[in-house]
Amino acid sequence: VLEHVEHPDAFLRKARELLRPGGRVYVSTCLNAPEPDHIYLFSTRAEVAQMIRASGFSVEDEACLPYEGRTAELCEAERLPVNVAYILKPS
């Protein structure tokens, strides 16, 4: 889970480097969820997507689980927690 990694961008680049041909990487993280064990805090899905692209991956599939009763967009605007998960493939 990326929020527990000090440098998630470096982690993704290393995962890309180690990935076998045809392989996939599954990652998850949360947005707007400050906790003592969350070393890296993401605010928006766009921020995560930009880091994914910059690390040499593209998103094959994704799941977004916003705060109960809210949309992901509303959660981002109100800075409420959102969980996201991605299946990544090399770009």
- The reported pLDDT for the residue numbered 53 is 98
- The reported pLDDT for the residue numbered 34 is 95
- Please state, in angstroms and rounded to a whole number, the distance separating the CA atoms of residues 88 and 81: 22
- The reported pLDDT for the residue numbered 41 is 96
Tokens at 53, concatenated = 């692209």
Query: Mean pLDDT, to the nearest integer, of 65-71?
Result: 93
Contact status, residue 27 vs residue 86, Cβ threshold 8 Å: yes
Average pLDDT of the chain to the nearest whole number: 96
**Cα distances (Å, whole numbers) of residue 10 to 7, 45, 46, 83:** 5, 18, 18, 21
Three-state SS for 78? helix
Contact status, residue 5 vs residue 39, Cβ threshold 8 Å: yes
